């Protein structure tokens, strides 16, 4: 059963369609590549699916019944959707551990800070921080982490959400090889748990190695879909995306 579908969704800016009547489907247990040249509409699509931008037209269907035409970002957890950003968004003056606990407690920031955290939440935070290699940094302020460590912390926050659909917007950008391996393992683990993982990525080696199915956008339109091998061999994809 599809976990999420878009039906003829449109996003217009001043008459220009940044997303143009797009129909795509995300099933559980797969990693999807969302690829295309800069300005093709990838991040706009993710912003639409997470309520940061309103739809101009069309609907988003979550599960087999919930049809949404006006998405609110505050409802994403209810819909089972979470994401990361190209530009990392953390609470810089909170510790690494508190950045995770805020998510785990599903409370507002101040409520989470003053809550007496139980062993369950602390154990969950320890597990996810060890997974991304940040447990030893748990008491440091997030703003003091390196760029790569901040990206890992944001990914850890997303994983802590226990969602059904994970949208990762260029999670590998700027990471060292050992960090890339950590993130790759996390995506594979999420896939194995039966959720849908959507990956925006420009590195075609990572797309080939990680994804099961790809959607290719150009000027807001879907120009190709299929396995990585299928879409990356298509002439229109090569011309639009790889510039050859």
Cα–Cα nearest to 125, from 148, 150, 99: 99
Rounded Cα–Cα distance for residues 209 and 168 (Å) = 16
Phi, psi of 27 (to 5 degrees): -95, 160
Phi, psi of 169 (to 5 degrees): -95, 100
pLDDT confidence of 189, banded at 50, 70, 90? very high
CB environment 80-106: b (16+ within 10 A), e (fewer) = bbbbbbeebebeeebbbbbbbbbbbbe
Per-residue pLDDT at 110 exceeds 60 = no
Per-residue pLDDT at 194 exceeds 90 = yes
Say which residue, 118 or 130, is predicted with more confidence. Answer: 130
Copy the structure tokens of residue 32: 């999807």
pLDDT confidence of 241, banded at 50, 70, 90? low
- Quote the percentage of the chain above a pLDDT of 70: 93
- How many Cα neighbours within 13 Å face the side chain of 35? 26
With vertex at residue 186, the alpha carbon angle to CA 194 and CA 111, rounded to the nearest 5 degrees, is: 90
Spatial CB neighbours of 185, under 8 Å, sequence gap ≥ 6: none
Query: What are the structural domains, with CATH classification, of the chain?
Result: 1-77+165-171+195-244 (3.40.50.300), 81-162 (3.40.50.300)
Per-residue pLDDT at 98 exceeds 80 = yes
Query: What is the structure's pLDDT at 21?
Result: 94
Q: What is the pLDDT of residues 20-64, one digit of tens each?
A: 999 999 999 999 999 999 889 999 999 999 988 999 999 999 987
Per-residue pLDDT at 108 exceeds 60 = no
Cα–Cα nearest to 163, from 51, 52, 74, 79: 79
SS3 30: strand
Query: What is the structure's pLDDT at 112?
Result: 46
């Amino acid at each position: 059963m599809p976990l999420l579908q878009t039906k003829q969704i449109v996003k217009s800016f001043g008459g220009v369609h940044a997303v143009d009547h797009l129909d795509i489907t995300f099933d559980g247990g797969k990693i999807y590549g969302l690829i295309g040249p800069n300005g093709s509409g990838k991040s706009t699509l993710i912003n639409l699916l997470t309520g940061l931008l309103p739809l101009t037209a069309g609907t988003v269907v979550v599960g087999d019944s919930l049809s949404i035409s006006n998405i609110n970002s505050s409802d994403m957890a209810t819909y089972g959707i979470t994401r990361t950003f190209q530009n990392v968004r953390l609470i810089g003056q909170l510790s690494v551990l508190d950045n995770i606990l805020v998510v785990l407690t599903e409370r507002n920031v101040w409520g989470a800070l003053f809550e007496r955290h139980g062993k369950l939440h602390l154990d969950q935070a320890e597990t996810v921080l060890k997974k991304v290699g940040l447990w030893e940094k748990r008491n440091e302020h997030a703003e003091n982490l390196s760029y790569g460590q901040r990206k890992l912390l944001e990914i850890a926050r997303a994983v802590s959400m226990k969602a059904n659909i994970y949208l990762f917007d260029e999670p590998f950008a700027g990471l060292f090889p050992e960090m890339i391996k950590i993130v790759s393992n996390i995506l594979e683990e999420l896939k194995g748990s039966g959720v849908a993982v959507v990956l925006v990525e420009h590195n075609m080696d990572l797309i080939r190695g990680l994804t099961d199915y790809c959607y290719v956008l150009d000027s807001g339109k879907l120009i190709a879909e299929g396995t990585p091998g299928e879409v990356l061999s298509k002439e229109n994809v090569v011309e639009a995306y790889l510039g050859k």
